[in-house]
Structure 1
């Protein structure tokens, strides 16, 4: 494990946290256990339950896994997985391609890093952990010389889908990508069936993407397995605020 400890003068929220990339199968399993608790147990997705208590798929073996760990308890409290362009080439696909047609992005495919499975333990959602994960993403993209970060931002359908529709309808031209980067969902979420007039409540992760300068690249896809509407987001490295890496000292992550 290559640990990057946050300096003590970063404040009490950061003094007991460390950032690293998983380097062993044991660490990856720790990540999968946290994801299982957050994505499957807490959301009540009984169809995805398993006796191992692990959230895993074919992408995990090809991805790099960012880990935020509580240095006092050694517990993994946050994670993000990243599929770099070389690994995607070996695998033959990005995770997003299970939900979206990415053919319009073929000309920049060699510079795409895909982030997904963002997950934070319920006891550590004050903001410090997600900031560290963003720092890791920024440093990773520079190390791999990636031009764009892509991923799926999920919106729960627990309310019947009205919030997902309200969020998408609220987007203006500033949030939408240039036309050449628009993608199409394989299974579109039926926005037209949702009533209008509902307040848009943007989930924290999607809000973070937008604040960092990400674009929404088209209509949402419907993910029945995770009972969510997923938006394809793209973040040009030029838009990513480098204060994350500079402030938290993660420029040398995983060298």
Structure 2
């Protein structure tokens, strides 16, 4: 594991980097299963409590570990466009029509399956995860980062609809980057009332702080029982303030 460390609580150190062996990948897949099953009630085709799919073998997997316990407490994965011939496209293409977006000059990568253990969400785990991802984006000369950001629909989808409307009003991409969802949200999610400000999920807040934009309407993901928004981040557009924040020292 290629890592950087930071003291976050007395006696606790977190370490972030790339998973380099099968046991680390299994720990990441186990964390994914635990978080997505508990928080979204996801219907995962899991074996032995693991969340895995056909994309995993072709992704770069990032993990954050608690050094004292060696426990994996956060994870994400990155799929570079040079590797999508092996997967028949990005994961997000199962949810959105990306042909026009992928025709844009430049290199793309997709971030996905990001999650943090509930006990570590008030630590630097997510920031450290992004630090490792950012270093990899620079190393591979990635121009655009895309990824599905999920919103729970445990309330029937009303909050997800509000968040989606809010983001489309204030953070929508230019017309040439707008994508179409393959599955619209269930009718029950739609509200006839006025769109009001609601709390945006933490991962989406991180995207927005880095200058990411939403690529249009959300897609209904019945397996994960959530609404997914496709986010687009111009890697070269990261301000120096954010670059310093996520760059490894």
Q: TM-score, normalised by structure 1?
A: 0.88
Query: Hey, what does 1:202 align to over in structure 2?
Result: 200
Query: Hey, what does 1:54 align to over in structure 2?
Result: 50
Pairs within 5 Å for 1:24-35: 24-35=21-32
3-state SS, counterpart of residue 142 of structure 2 = coil
Match of 2:212 among 193, 211, 214: 214
- CA shift at 1:62, angstroms? 0.5
The alignment covers a number of residue pairs equal to 247
Q: Aligned in 2, Cα 1:194/1:59: closer, same or farther, shift over 3 Å?
A: same
- CA shift at 1:209, angstroms? 0.8
Query: Hey, what does 2:2 align to over in structure 1?
Result: 2
- Alpha-carbon distance between aligned partners in 2 of 1:229 and 1:62, rounded to the nearest angstrom: 25
Pairs within 5 Å for 1:121-160: 121-160=117-156
Q: Deviations over 1:134-188 (max 9, x none)?
A: 1112111100100011000111111111111111222355400000001000111
- Asked if 2 retains the 8 angstrom alpha-carbon contact of 1:138 and 1:244, the reply is no
Pairs within 5 Å for 1:207-246: 207-243=205-241, 246=244
- Alpha-carbon distance between aligned partners in 2 of 1:14 and 1:105, rounded to the nearest angstrom: 46
- CA shift at 1:12, angstroms? 4.0
Q: Deviations over 1:62-115 (max 9, x none)?
A: 000111111111110111111011122332200000000001113237511100
CA RMSD of aligned residues (A): 2.3
Quick check: 226-235 or 195-204, which moved more?
195-204
Match of 1:71 among 49, 67, 72: 67
3-state SS, counterpart of residue 89 of structure 1 = coil
- CA shift at 1:248, angstroms? 6.2
- Alpha-carbon distance between aligned partners in 2 of 1:193 and 1:172, rounded to the nearest angstrom: 15
Query: Hey, what does 2:174 align to over in structure 1?
Result: 178
- Alpha-carbon distance between aligned partners in 2 of 1:24 and 1:242, rounded to the nearest angstrom: 33
Structure 2 residue ranges without an equivalent (≥5): none
- CA shift at 1:5, angstroms? 2.6
- CA shift at 1:243, angstroms? 4.7
- CA shift at 1:120, angstroms? 0.6
Q: Aligned in 2, Cα 1:212/1:246: closer, same or farther, shift over 3 Å?
A: closer
Q: TM-score, normalised by structure 2?
A: 0.90
- Asked if 2 retains the 8 angstrom alpha-carbon contact of 1:188 and 1:220, the reply is yes
Q: Does 1:118 align with 2:114?
A: yes
